[in-house]
Amino acid sequence: MTVIQWVCLGLIYFILFLNFYRLIIYKIIGWAKCKVYKEAKKDHSFCVIIAGRKEEKVIGNLIDSIKAQNYNKDLIKIFVIAADEPTANVARSKEGVVAYLQPKDLKKGKGYALQFLFEQIKLNHSDYHPDAFVMFDADNLLHPDCIKEFNKALDAGCEICNGYRASKNFDSNWISAVASLSFLDVARFEHNARENLGLSSYVAGTGFMFKADCLGEGGWNYSLLSEDLEFSLDQMLKGRRVAYNHNAIFYDEQPETIRDYYVQRKRWQKGTYQNMVRYYPKFLKQSFKLKNDNKNKRFTFIDFTVFLTPFLLFTTVLGLFLAIYTIVDSIIQIALNPLLSSYINFLLTFLGAIIGIAGITMLNYILVWIAERKRIKCGFWKMLGFIFMIPLAVFILIPIPIVTIFQKVGWKVIAHNNTKKIDEIDIQINENNSQAVGEKQPHVALSEKAEVGMHSVIKQSGEIEYFSSNENKQSENLFADNEKIIVFENLIDAENHQPISKEKSALKVKS
């Protein structure tokens, strides 16, 4: 190797060293058990905010999943800001939903749309004061306990809290699978790691909760391309911490085409650069403030100073320069010494670099797969095939850190056409988990609470009876002392593999 090659490699390794804690330490800590929040002492009121753009096919299913929450419906109010009439009309057709149509002269961008919506809420609903807001995109779906879990976090003192971003189209193709894995990677090995360390994380566009007083009198004033990161950084500077609840599960639709995948990532990268320009000096200053005696808060500023540093840009530029230099140098060596060994050395060098990058990225997502296998909706062999496509997805994104510096990037429509409902996703989870462990029938999750409702016998076999439930009631006075109740979520009939109840089911067993 030449001196130039050694210098480039040295700089790349130095950058990796600066990111050591995020690449290695966070991976280790992320494996730790995820925090489970205690039952809330109070049911708080939530205002659900939904932003939609040409998503009339999916927004109705999101609203239905919100209305099906295992939470007091009187404490949930839904507001929608839509960029087009069809999306707004679907939202308005749902009972109790307040939907606004974005003015045509409003600047493009989710941040501006949210700013307009919060202004309308303040103007037209001045007597409405929820305890917290919950933000979702129109293509999302909520797990039945999502709001309940956010309420636990709010009751525990969390001012801002991230949910768990699962995917509703994980196994559609390799692009949606890779995109989904990237979010699971962030959830488990960034959000969860920071939560275990007592540090602040950041919200990621959708599926997060924040207390109403986080906005203050000024309302929503975040309009950069990555308005979610802007909100997070501003709240950190105000002394607030972004927490994480691994059980506040919601489902997001991921891109299924290379075009959408590339456009989405390009916008995020441009938004990160915008936030770097605005917040980097402030975070760098806070990182070196010796008067700050709160170690967790101080390390959060250090953490996000590193986060905002464009290391990806540096490594991309260095990597491309090193690759071009190595190729040119190899061609010259071959021309000067046209022996078979020269060709072999060139091929080994080139293949070694590609295999190295591919191996590291595949290993990373294999770890994600292992850690989150119970929540991934995909068969084993199909998943294995997706893993081998990860290097291609990485190479597709290589130009983005450089291109976005010079190119003007705006909001472009990402197609959302997956019309799955929450019931379909829950059944698919059960089926895939069963296949993964080799069971013949779907797996059901047990609940520790012995709560049942108005009972009707669905099936009886010996000492066991199945009951469906639509209302929650204590079971103490309904059964004899020698009987016990086990409550299931989404109980599946063992014969026809169909759900016995869309809500809760109970199993009575003779003691």
Considering only CA atoms, which of 430, 408, 402 is closest in space to residue 489? 430
Read off the pLDDT band of 346 (50, 70, 90).
low
36 within some domain = no
488 within some domain = yes
149 within some domain = yes
Considering only CA atoms, which of 444, 445, 504, 499 is closest in space to residue 473? 504
The answer on 358 and 498 residing in a single domain is no
Residue 111 has pLDDT above 80, yes or no: yes
For the segment 395-422, the average pLDDT, to the nearest whole number, is 87
pLDDT exceeding 70 applies to what percent of the chain?
A: 76
Task: Report d(CA 299, CA 398) in Å as an integer.
Answer: 30
Per-residue model confidence (pLDDT) at position 423 = 85
- Residue 186, CA distances (Å) to 109, 206, 249, 284, 485 in order: 24, 14, 14, 23, 38
Read off the pLDDT band of 460 (50, 70, 90).
very low
The answer on 420 and 457 residing in a single domain is no
The answer on 255 and 208 residing in a single domain is yes
The answer on 181 and 82 residing in a single domain is yes
Up-side HSE of residue 358: CA atoms within 13 Å toward CB?
12
Residue 464 has pLDDT above 80, yes or no: no
Per-residue model confidence (pLDDT) at position 436 = 37
Residue 19 has pLDDT above 90, yes or no: no
The answer on 250 and 204 residing in a single domain is yes
Specify the CATH number for the domain of residue 191.
3.90.550.10
For the segment 333-340, the average pLDDT, to the nearest whole number, is 67
Angle at 111 between CA 251 and CA 189, to 5 degrees: 45
Read off the pLDDT band of 255 (50, 70, 90).
very high
Angle at 28 between CA 26 and CA 31, to 5 degrees: 105
57 within some domain = yes
Up-side HSE of residue 40: CA atoms within 13 Å toward CB?
19
Least confident of 124-133, 276-285, 337-346: 337-346
473-496 pLDDT, tens digit per residue, is 333 333 344 444 455 545 554 444
- In the structure encoding, which two tokens stand for residue 26, read together? 């966070």
Per-residue model confidence (pLDDT) at position 508 = 45
The answer on 448 and 420 residing in a single domain is no
65 within some domain = yes
Considering only CA atoms, which of 404, 111, 112 is closest in space to residue 270? 404
> Taking the mean position of all CA atoms in its chain, how far away is CA 4?
40
The answer on 497 and 386 residing in a single domain is no
For the segment 51-65, the average pLDDT, to the nearest whole number, is 95
**What residues make up the domain containing 495?**
444-510
- Which of 396, 430, 464 is the last residue in one of the domains? 430
Do 298 and 289 form a contact (C-beta atoms < 8 A)? yes
Percent helix, strand, coil in the chain (nearest 5)? 50, 15, 35
Cβ-Cβ contacts under 8 Å for 86 (sequence gap 6 or more): 54, 56
The answer on 182 and 244 residing in a single domain is yes
Q: What is the mean pLDDT of the chain?
A: 81
Q: How many Cβ atoms are within 10 Å of 385's Cβ, its own excluded? A: 13
Per-residue model confidence (pLDDT) at position 503 = 43
- In the structure encoding, which two tokens stand for residue 57, read together? 């096919």
Residue 295 has pLDDT above 90, yes or no: no
Per-residue model confidence (pLDDT) at position 335 = 74
- Which of 376, 404, 430 is the last residue in one of the domains? 430
Residue at 366: amino acid letter: I
| Number of domains into which the chain is organized | 2
Per-residue model confidence (pLDDT) at position 458 = 34
For the segment 231-236, the average pLDDT, to the nearest whole number, is 96
Do 152 and 37 form a contact (C-beta atoms < 8 A)? yes
The answer on 261 and 180 residing in a single domain is yes
The answer on 95 and 145 residing in a single domain is yes
DSSP assignment of 240-255: --EEEEEEEEEEEPPP
For the segment 417-439, the average pLDDT, to the nearest whole number, is 59
DSSP-based three-state secondary structure for 447? strand
262 within some domain = yes
For the segment 457-485, the average pLDDT, to the nearest whole number, is 39
Handedness of CA 39, 45, 47, 48 (dihedral sign): positive
Which pTM was predicted?
A: 0.80
The answer on 162 and 106 residing in a single domain is yes
The answer on 418 and 448 residing in a single domain is no
Per-residue model confidence (pLDDT) at position 14 = 73
